Amino acid sequence: MSRRVHLDANVILRFLRNDDPEQSATAVVLFDRAQRGSLDLVVSPVTLMEVFYVLATTYGMRRPEVAKILHTFLTSDLVGCEDKGITIDALQRITTNKVSFGDAYLVATASHYQEELATFDKGITSLKDVRIYPLADLVKAKSR
């Protein structure tokens, strides 16, 4: 079993952006070692959410573009990811819906487990494959 190394968002950003001569070069060497099989790199969905946020806000990239870049990154076999299928589903949802990474991940998780989701967010309730818990019924039930 290879040595497992968990990635921080800044390492992923330096690798993807190649915008710092020293740190980006170091990140490239790290990913090269993973590609050769001497390391297993691991990224959490929370870290990917941070990368998504920084690329979209700090670098001003369009959300669907960021989602596609991170989708390619996740499916490249350079990194492992906890809940990889759910994370990829969330990234795909961002490219076709106006939802944040966090909301897309929440919807993807509920959908994956075929469970309901409680929200007041109209953007989430507009998604077709999510089952929404009927919060409005709670008020009606309380007033009876």
- Residue 137: count of CB within 10 angstroms of its CB: 9
pTM exceeds 0.75, yes or no: yes
Q: The domain that contains 28 carries what CATH number?
A: 3.40.50
Is residue 139 over pLDDT 80? no
Confidence of residue 127 (pLDDT cuts 50, 70, 90): confident
Which pLDDT tens digit goes with each residue over 56-103? 999 999 999 999 999 999 999 899 998 999 999 999 999 888 888 999
Residue 50 sits in which domain range? 3-142
Q: How many helices (H) and strands (E) does the chain have?
A: 8, 5
Structurally, how many domains does the chain consist of?
1
Confidence of residue 142 (pLDDT cuts 50, 70, 90): low
Distances, alpha carbon 64 to alpha carbons 4, 40, 55, 96, in Å: 30, 28, 11, 8
Residues 6+ apart with CB under 8 A from 7: 41, 42, 43, 47, 79
CA dihedral 36, 42, 48, 49 (to 10 degrees): 180
Which pLDDT tens digit goes with each residue over 7-28? 999 999 999 999 999 999 999 9
Look at residue 45 in the predicted model and tell me its pLDDT.
Answer: 96
Is residue 47 over pLDDT 90? yes
